[in-house]
Amino acid sequence: MRLISSNLTSERKRAVRRRVARALLCGVIVAVGGCRQLEKIPDGPHDHTPSYHDNVGLEIEYPQVAECATSPQLAAKSATEPLALEDPSKIPAYELSLEQAIQLAVQQSPVLRSIGGAIVSSPQSARTVYDPSVTASSVNQGTEAALSAFDAQYTQQLFWNNVDQPTNRQPFTIAGVGGGPPLVFAPFSQSQNATFTNELSKQTATGARFALRHNVLYNRTQDPSVAQLLFPSVFSGSIEAEWRQPLLQGSGTTYNRIAGPSNVPGVYNGVLIARINEDVSLADFEAAVIQLAADVEQAYWDLATAYRILDANIKGREAAQQTFQFQQVRLEVGSGRSDEEAQARSQFYQFQAQVESSLGGTAGLYALEQRLRYLIGMAASDGRLIRPTTNPTDAKVVFDWESALGQALDRRVEVRRQRFSVKRRELEVIASKLNLRPRLDFLAQYRWRGLGNHLIGDTDKSQFDNLYKTITDGDYQEGQAGFELSFPVGLRLASLAVREARLNLQRERAILDETELRVSHDLSDATRQIALTYQLLETNYNRYQADLRQVDVLRRRYRDGNDNINFLLQAQRQVVTSESEFYRSLFAYNLAIRDIHRQKGSLLAYNQVQLAEGPWAAGAAADANTVGRFLEPRLDPSAVSVPAPLTSGPFMPSAVQNTNPAISASTSGQIIGDVTQQAVAPSYATVSEADGVDPVIVEPFRNSAAREAEAFSDSP
């Protein structure tokens, strides 16, 4: 039985498969035949008409904006063909000092440029001089926007309403008044209504809300159910004053200055929060200016290095050319060897390739000169070649570690910005705790009511002749006072806001601690680098002098025939390498000085860059002067109850900070004014911080003060 049932099942399955195959085959035949039938249908009148969507709707359009002739735009359009392998000595020089380069960089464009040139790929991340003003003018983050929540608000409404409504009743007639004709009332209700309301309200910093309202209602009706009215049309209204004072949640200047008038837990948009937003924006702008100054100095010294390396390669090429020509002469007279001539020829072309790379390579003279041009806002090329004129510093500078560390932790813009973030979280914790209370408001209202046949006027001297006469007579006065209490049972959302604010505070404090730790490490690295680069400067200088003497000796020995050419060729390569390394270490030392000023927060003072507020709006200075006449300083500020200050006072990032570090001069050094000079190499002078003055570099053998002395000339 099992075998028979299995055979029947197999037969059924095969039959189903055959039916499915036939259905699929028929479907394919019908589809193919159907397509052929559709091809025989002629085209309609619009089948070949081009579509607007195909020709116009898919086009990429170019925006039309108003253009203004600015310095960057003119520089972009006036660029000439770039330099590649031209001889720099035949190109007119544009002498530029480091101070002039930084001045041009901060004045040429409102956009703070960077070496990477990310303005094209990500313009939204670019920093401009407008960013602090944009934050201050923001409707969500600015101080004025936060203050607008406390502005007086005026609202007014005026509505007309006409009612013509059928009613479910029989018509009826009533006797006329004073023997007049009877009055017939139809089964409908007709009336004309008007409503006029206006209100002036004011939210205060203590949380109180004052309001003054005026309401007028006009009604004219023909409803028989109100046939006993005094007037067929009447004006009624009131003048009302209200005072609502929060006693728990939402009360006090501390809460309202942080959270604003909003009573939503976790939402903080008060004046103090907006002030912090503006300060953070200023810190970001200051960081961008510091980055710009650092980039300009980097590009400037890189260009100066490129000049020196090019000179070294040219001198190497000339020496190799002389050796090659001398070897050719010897080969022509029969006293030379062809392999030595080939070696000299190879080294000449090797130096020729280095000269060409030093000119037009990616790290060559022209590329680095163009990078400096971009940072200072000049055209990519204009037929001139920038030539740095500021002499690099070769004096040994010694920074007092304790003073530098204290300045770094106090003056670094990153630390100050993070402190503002911590201050914001502290304020949010205060507001969240104050919000963890029920809503208990004291409410007081007082109103003067009135009724009149007319809105204004005095015709029949009756009691209710006009509305405003009734109100001003003061015969009908009302008042109420009481308390309103409301709160969500459990205060879950407010408790969650407190927990969130505390966690955010802990996070920002941890980041502040980590920032200060990172700043100390960065300052330590910069201090190590300044010591290392100066030592490398001396070492590479001694190496360069030794290689020069070696080349002179081997050249004489080679020309006298006492030595092989390989030693001379190797010495020529070594002297070019040692000269290049010497100049690299010299400019790396100047960049190390820049880095330590940057790490301790004095780079703007070092480069004589000052930050100042832009011009005020017209009349703002006069208004401030007028208001200041009514302000007097408190002789005893402790006797006045004021909210806690947001900041500890003004801070000028470009000002010189006075410190009092200990003077640690070596036994061979002597004090000269405010600097310490040590007996080191004859061409170097050593200075250190002393008497509250930042490092000042003195170059007695050049008879010129370095720019550090200019940067700190206003020190005591």
SS3 91: coil
Q: How far are the Cα atoms of 124, 425, 564 from residue 70, in angstroms, in the given order?
A: 20, 42, 63
What is the reported pLDDT for 59? 76
What is the reported pLDDT for 44? 67
Residues 220 and 250 placed together within one structural domain of the fold: yes
Residues 286 and 354 placed together within one structural domain of the fold: yes
User: What is the pTM for the complete model shown?
Assistant: 0.77
Query: What percentage of the chain carries pLDDT values higher than 90?
Result: 49
Residues 118 and 189 placed together within one structural domain of the fold: no
Residues 6+ apart with CB under 8 A from 251: 206, 207, 245
Residues 263 and 212 placed together within one structural domain of the fold: yes
Kindly state whether residue 516 falls inside one of the protein's structural domains: yes
Residue 572: beta bridge partners? Answer: none
Residues 565 and 418 placed together within one structural domain of the fold: yes
Closest CA relative to residue 386, chosen from 404, 372, 401:
372
Kindly state whether residue 216 falls inside one of the protein's structural domains: yes
How are the residues of the chain apportioned to helix, strand and coil, as percentages rounded to the nearest 5?
Answer: 50, 15, 35
Cα separation, 676 vs 687, in Å, equals 5
SS3 148: helix
Cα separation, 417 vs 412, in Å, equals 9
Cα separation, 142 vs 275, in Å, equals 7
Residues 248 and 281 placed together within one structural domain of the fold: no
Kindly state whether residue 638 falls inside one of the protein's structural domains: no
Residue 328 near residue 341, CB atoms below 8 Å: yes
Question: What is the number of structural domains in the chain?
Answer: 4
Cα separation, 107 vs 34, in Å, equals 75
Residues 196 and 247 placed together within one structural domain of the fold: yes
Kindly state whether residue 650 falls inside one of the protein's structural domains: no
What is the reported pLDDT for 474? 86
- HSE-CB of 116 using CA atoms within 13 angstroms: 8
Residues 93 and 157 placed together within one structural domain of the fold: no
Cα separation, 547 vs 542, in Å, equals 9
Phi, psi of 96 (to 5 degrees): -140, 130
- The CATH code of the domain that includes 671 is 1.20.1600.10
pLDDT along the chain (716 residues), means of 10: 42 59 52 54 68 72 80 83 89 94 88 80 85 89 91 94 74 61 64 92 94 92 61 87 95 92 88 93 93 94 96 94 87 82 91 94 93 92 94 92 93 94 95 93 95 76 78 90 94 94 96 96 96 95 94 87 84 94 96 95 90 76 81 67 71 65 34 30 37 35 32 34
Residues 512 and 590 placed together within one structural domain of the fold: yes
Kindly state whether residue 64 falls inside one of the protein's structural domains: no
Kindly state whether residue 443 falls inside one of the protein's structural domains: yes
What is the reported pLDDT for 697? 33
Residues 511 and 574 placed together within one structural domain of the fold: yes
What is the reported pLDDT for 241? 96
Kindly state whether residue 508 falls inside one of the protein's structural domains: yes
What is the reported pLDDT for 229? 61
Cα separation, 109 vs 412, in Å, equals 25
Residues 686 and 587 placed together within one structural domain of the fold: yes
Q: Scan for tokens 């063909």, then name that residue.
A: 81
User: Structural domain of residue 479, as residue ranges?
Assistant: 143-165+185-268+439-486
What's the token pair of residue 230? 């005094």
What is the reported pLDDT for 509? 96
Torsion, Cα of 612, 618, 623, 625 (10° steps): 50
Residues 6+ apart with CB under 8 A from 53: none
Residues 465 and 319 placed together within one structural domain of the fold: no
Tens digit of each residue's pLDDT (9 = 90 or more) over 411-464: 999 999 999 999 999 999 999 999 999 999 999 999 999 988 888 876 656 677
Q: How many CB atoms are closer than 10 A to CB 675?
A: 26
Kindly state whether residue 647 falls inside one of the protein's structural domains: no
